[in-house]
């Protein structure tokens, strides 16, 4: 099966990104043709620092590798290096109804602060990413579900107008961890762009930072450690995080933690997080000194992606009467 997914290079990746996306990728990489992209063209739809962009891209490639993606098996590359993404985005714009773009939740949220055409067209570029590689499955977190569905709609519309061209992609969400919540405000999702650093656990946070953030994690006024998203969003989120890290069922974690105070439970979550993130930090430190090697992986990935993208675009241009 062809798998495609991507992550924006800006901001530091957190455990939500890991459980929502990267962990699924690791499970898929052995049996499928996987393409994992660092979507720099998406990242520039909000204010950013051009001086830092290349460094951030390299850092994300390091995260992919530190998490365990095998560059011998999967394609890893930066989106802007394969020009076909932008070209296909433009062509798909011609079949995408504007109303559908205005209705996207993420656009409505982000446009409050920054109303730009790039934000509105964001899902069309994402559709281009996906459709360019005949993608069947898109493993993402819950917040991207709507975008994958619109990509499917766009593919269907294109096929109807110009003949069978694109595979209709399907979204794949993880069973647990599709929406990890902020630990500072468990009614919001954990997000790279949240100005409150304490709201997320980044993959490379130091043990001290992890302990400090979890110590101040928001819970509730009760005493029982029980999963109840509505009444106990904070505790439920911590139970989810613990169960994902420990690879245990939530029910079993509830039993294990029975009778403990919230403070003691938060300490348990912190210690497990420190332990489980340690290999990331180690691998990252090791790879940070091997910049040439990481750049070479991106370059090779880009070449492989380009071959696939060019061949698809040949077909698209022909179908649209552009050659
Ligand atoms: P991005 O960079 O915001 O997030 C990367 C991935 O992490 C998931 N995610 C979460 N999962 C669980 N809990 C959370 N709190 C959480 N926060 C983020 C996201 O769902 C995503 O899977 N538009 C995309 C990038 C993109 C893309 C694509 C993805 C561009 N083109 C094509 C798939 C296919 C984005 O901004 O993800």
Closest by CA position to 305, among listed 93, 49, 39, 46: 39
**CB of 36 sitting under 6 A from ligand 1:** no
Average the pLDDT over 5-18 and give the result: 95
169 lines ligand 1 (CB under 6 A): no
Tallying the residues shown for the chain, one arrives at 323
**Dihedral sign, Cα of residue 286, residue 40, residue 124, residue 147:** positive
Mutate to test the pocket of ligand 1, among 141, 185, 194, 309 (most ligand atoms within 8 A of CB): 141
- Report the pLDDT averaged over residues 8-28: 96
Q: How far is the CA of 125 from the centre of ligand 1 (A)?
A: 14
Same CATH topology for 2-172+290-319 and 197-285: the answer is no
Q: 141 CB under 6 A from ligand 1? A: yes
Q: At what angle do helices 122-131 and 84-93 cross, to 10 degrees?
A: 120
> How large is the greatest C-alpha to C-alpha distance in the chain, in angstroms?
71
As a whole number, mean pLDDT of residues 99-123 equals 90
Instruction: Dump pLDDT digits (tens) for 208-265.
Output: 999 999 999 999 999 999 999 999 999 999 999 999 999 999 999 999 999 999 999 9
Q: Is the pLDDT of residue 12 over 90?
A: no
Q: How far apart are CA 37 and CA 89, in angstroms?
A: 16
**What is the CATH topology of the domain spanning 197-285?**
Tyrosyl-Transfer RNA Synthetase (1.10.240)
Indicate the domain borders of the chain: 2-172+290-319, 197-285
Q: What is the pLDDT of residue 310?
A: 98
Q: Whose CA is nearest to atom 24 of ligand 1?
A: 7
Residue among 9, 23, 39, 69 whose CB has most ligand 1 atoms within 8 A, to mutate: 39
Instruction: Give the pTM.
Output: 0.96
196 secondary structure, DSSP code: -
**Mean pLDDT score across all residues of the chain:** 96
Q: Tell me what percent of the residues of the chain surpass a pLDDT of 70.
A: 100
Q: What is the pLDDT of residue 111?
A: 82
Q: Place 294 in a pLDDT band, splitting at 50, 70 and 90.
A: very high
| pLDDT score at 114 | 79
Tell me the C-alpha distance between 210 and 204, whole Å.
9
Active centre residues (catalytic): 110, 189, 192
Answer yes or no: is the C-beta of 60 below 6 A from any ligand 1 atom: no
User: How far does the centroid of ligand 1 lie from the alpha carbon of residue 127, in Å?
Assistant: 13
Residue 11 pLDDT class (50, 70, 90 cuts):
confident
Q: 192, 237, 197, 225: which is closest to 213 by C-alpha?
A: 197
- pLDDT, tens digit, for every residue of 177-192? 999 999 999 999 999 9
Which homologous superfamily does the CATH classification assign to the domain defined by 2-172+290-319? HUPs (3.40.50.620)
Cα-Cα-Cα-Cα torsion 188, 184, 190, 23, nearest 10 degrees, comes to -130
pLDDT of residue 80: 98
Scanning 11-114, the segments in alpha helix (DSSP H) are 15-17, 23-28, 40-43, 50-67, 84-93, 98-102, 105-111
Q: Tell me how far the alpha carbon of residue 84 lies from the centroid of ligand 1, in angstroms.
A: 21
Check whether 89 has a pLDDT greater than 90. Answer: yes
* Ligand 1 atom having least distance to the Cα of 20: 11
CA 269 – ligand 1 centroid, Å: 24
Lowest mean pLDDT across 3-17, 103-117, 193-207? 103-117
Q: Residue whose CA is closest, atom 27 of ligand 1?
A: 6
Does the Cβ of 20 fall within 6 Å of ligand 1?
A: yes
Residue of the CA atom closest to atom 35 of ligand 1 = 7
What does the pLDDT average to over 137-146? 98
Nearest CA to ligand 1 atom 20: 141
261 alpha carbon – ligand 1 mean position (Å): 34
4 lines ligand 1 (CB under 6 A): yes
Q: What is the pLDDT of residue 110?
A: 84
How many angstroms does the Cα of residue 158 sit away from the middle of ligand 1? 25
The alpha carbon dihedral of 139, 141, 142, 145 has a sign of: negative
Mutate to test the pocket of ligand 1, among 3, 21, 69, 183 (most ligand atoms within 8 A of CB): 21
């Amino acid at each position: 099966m062809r798998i495609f997914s991507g992550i924006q290079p800006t901001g530091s990746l957190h455990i939500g990104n890991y459980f929502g996306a990267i962990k699924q990728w690791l499970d898929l990489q052995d049996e499928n043709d996987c393409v994992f992209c660092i979507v720099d063209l998406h990242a520039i739809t909000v204010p950013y620092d051009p001086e830092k962009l290349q460094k951030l891209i390299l850092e994300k490639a390091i995260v992919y590798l530190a998490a365990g993606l095998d560059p011998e098996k999967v394609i890893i590359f930066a989106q802007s290096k394969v020009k076909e993404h932008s070209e296909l985005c433009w062509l798909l714009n011609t079949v995408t109804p504007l109303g559908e773009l205005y209705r996207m939740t993420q656009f409505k949220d982000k446009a409050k602060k920054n109303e730009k055409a790039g934000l509105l067209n964001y899902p069309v570029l994402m559709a281009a990413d996906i459709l360019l590689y005949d993608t069947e499955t898109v493993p993402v977190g819950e917040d991207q579900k709507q975008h994958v569905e619109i990509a499917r709609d766009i593919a269907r519309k294109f096929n109807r107008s110009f003949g069978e061209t694109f595979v209709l992609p399907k979204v794949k969400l993880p069973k647990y961890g599709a929406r990890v919540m902020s630990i500072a405000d468990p009614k919001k999702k954990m997000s790279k762009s949240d100005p409150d650093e304490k709201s997320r656990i980044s993959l490379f946070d130091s043990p001290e930072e992890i302990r400090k953030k979890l110590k101040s994690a928001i819970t509730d006024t009760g005493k029982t450690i029980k999963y109840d998203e509505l009444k106990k969003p904070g505790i439920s989120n911590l139970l989810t995080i613990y169960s994902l890290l420990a690879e245990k069922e939530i029910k079993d974690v509830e039993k294990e933690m029975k009778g403990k105070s919230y403070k003691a439970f938060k300490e348990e979550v912190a210690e497990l997080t420190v332990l489980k993130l340690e290999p990331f930090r180690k691998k990252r430190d090791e790879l940070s000194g091997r910049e040439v090697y990481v750049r070479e992986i991106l370059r090779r990935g880009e070449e492989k992606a380009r071959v696939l993208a060019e061949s698809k675009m040949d077909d698209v241009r022909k179908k649209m009467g552009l050659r």
